[in-house]
């Protein structure tokens, strides 16, 4: 390409990109101009480089939450074929004395779950939600269980091998639970600092085979309780699980809503419209 061809190409490129392109002349003369000094890039600096490496391998964080639900069968790999109340009751029957960990419930909550059939008005299992959280094209079952002092147990189940596997279980003093893409986001009332709250995003981890708290942040809230623009994208870090520790459209549940739902307690998953094509 001769000098004239180079000049024409430069003019066309500048016309397409506009004056924001470095070296383009905003006056349209075709003469390159300096974009000004560029700040040098600064890479991360490692502090105390002589610190020894970890001697113990990291613990598989999600391992304790993966649990096969005994006695529950699903039809055609569809989690909607399993009743959410029966799923939680099956777990309580299998672990009646569990007070901590993935199966942990307060004693009075476990009793109320066991009586959901005879006393449905006091059943603490909230309405189920359905969402593809693993990216395999099939929905997972999302269950919330109300407990004392605004504590809420949130559990997620995946259909596999004709039954259900629990891939997430956590308990916290929940303000709300939201669905954003394939993330389940929990807002927790107290961050231990006045005027702030926790927000944790749980995401599917293929290697662990479970939902993990992949993003955790402390968010400043306004006087009315709303989040302020001060919140930044969350950084990594797990949130607590077990009773002792503190978006785009999703699928609505089918069937009647159990008594004592999220609406009556002020907590629980935010209502979301069903995606196009979902019954």
Task: Give the pLDDT confidence of 144-171 residue by residue, as tens digits.
Answer: 999 998 899 999 999 999 999 999 999 9
What's the rounded mean pLDDT across residues 92-109? 91
Our count of domains for the chain comes to: 1
Q: Which of 204, 207, 161 is nearest to 183 (CA)?
A: 204
DSSP characters for the chain? --HHHHHHHHHHHHHHH-TTSTT--TTSS---------PPP-----SSTTPPPPSSPPP-TTGGG-EEEEEEE-BTTBGGGS-HHHHHHHHHHHSTT--SSTT---HHHHHHHHTTTT-GGG--B---EEE--SSSSSPEEEEEEE-GGGEEEEEEEEEETTEEEEEEEEEEEEEEEEEETTEEEEEES--SSTTEEEEEEEEEETTTTEEEEEEEEEEEB-TTSPBPTT--PPBS-PPP-STT------BPPPSPPPSS-HHHHT-SBPP-PPPTT--
**Do the domain assignments include residue 192?**
yes
- Residue pair 63/207 in contact (Cβ under 8 Å)? The answer is no
**Do the domain assignments include residue 121?**
yes
Which residues make beta-bridge pairs with 204?
211
* Per-residue pLDDT at 64: 53
Select, from the ranges 33-42, 55-64, 195-204, 215-224, the one with the highest average predicted confidence (pLDDT).
195-204
pLDDT at 138 over 90: yes
What's the rounded mean pLDDT across residues 89-97? 94
Looking at per-residue pLDDT, the higher value among 77 and 276 belongs to: 77
Distance from C-alpha of 197 to C-alpha of 190, rounded to nearest angstrom: 5
What's the rounded mean pLDDT across residues 107-123? 95
Torsion angle of C-alpha atoms 264, 105, 255, 175, degrees rounded to 10? 40
What's the rounded mean pLDDT across residues 39-57? 84
Task: Give the pLDDT confidence of 223-245 residue by residue, as tens digits.
Answer: 655 555 443 333 333 334 444 43
| Phi-psi label, residue 241: left if phi above 0, alpha if psi -120 to 50, beta otherwise | beta
* Per-residue pLDDT at 211: 95
**Do the domain assignments include residue 34?**
no
Task: Give the pLDDT confidence of 241-267 residue by residue, as tens digits.
Answer: 444 433 333 344 433 333 333 333 333
- Residue pair 186/139 in contact (Cβ under 8 Å)? The answer is no
**Do the domain assignments include residue 115?**
yes
* Structural domain boundaries, residue 222: 63-255
Q: How far is CA 96 from CA 70, 168, 170, 196, in A?
A: 13, 19, 17, 36
* Per-residue pLDDT at 274: 42
**Do the domain assignments include residue 37?**
no
Q: Which two tokens stand for residue 62?
A: 């999600």
What's the rounded mean pLDDT across residues 38-45? 83
Model pTM?
0.65
Looking at per-residue pLDDT, the higher value among 270 and 104 belongs to: 104
Residue with tokens 């307690």: 265
**Do the domain assignments include residue 242?**
yes
What's the rounded mean pLDDT across residues 177-198? 88
Q: Which of 93, 76, 97, 77 is nearest to 85 (CA)?
A: 93
By CB atoms closer than 10 A (0-12, 13-18, 19+), residue 120 is middle
Q: Which of 177, 182, 181, 188 is nearest to 205 (CA)?
A: 182
**Do the domain assignments include residue 196?**
yes
**Do the domain assignments include residue 233?**
yes
Looking at per-residue pLDDT, the higher value among 101 and 28 belongs to: 101
């Amino acid at each position: 390409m001769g000098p004239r061809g180079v000049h024409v190409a430069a003019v066309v490129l500048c016309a397409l990109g506009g004056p924001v392109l470095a070296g383009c002349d905003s006056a349209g003369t075709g003469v390159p101009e300096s974009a000004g000094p560029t700040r040098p890039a600064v890479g991360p600096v490692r502090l105390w480089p002589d610190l020894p490496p970890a001697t113990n391998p990291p613990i598989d964080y999600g391992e304790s939450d993966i649990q096969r639900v005994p006695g529950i069968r699903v039809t055609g790999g569809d989690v909607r074929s399993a009743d959410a109340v029966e799923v939680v009751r099956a777990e309580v029957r299998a672990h009646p004395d569990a007070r901590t960990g993935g199966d942990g419930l307060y004693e009075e909550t476990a009793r109320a779950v066991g009586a959901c059939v005879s006393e449905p008005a006091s059943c603490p299992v909230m309405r189920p939600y359905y969402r593809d959280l693993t990216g395999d094209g099939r929905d997972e079952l999302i269950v919330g269980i109300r407990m004392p002092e605004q504590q809420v147990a949130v559990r997620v189940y995946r259909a596999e091998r004709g039954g259900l596997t629990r891939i997430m279980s956590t308990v916290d003093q929940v303000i709300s639970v939201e669905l954003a893409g394939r993330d389940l986001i929990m807002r927790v009332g107290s961050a231990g600092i006045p005027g702030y709250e926790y927000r944790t995003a749980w995401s599917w981890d293929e290697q662990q085979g479970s939902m993990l708290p992949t993003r955790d942040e402390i968010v400043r809230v306004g006087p009315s309780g709303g989040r302020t623009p001060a919140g930044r994208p969350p950084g990594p870090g797990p949130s607590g699980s077990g009773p002792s520790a503190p978006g785009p459209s999703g699928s609505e549940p089918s069937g009647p809503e159990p008594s004592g739902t999220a609406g009556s307690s002020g907590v629980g998953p935010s209502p979301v419209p069903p995606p196009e094509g979902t019954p």
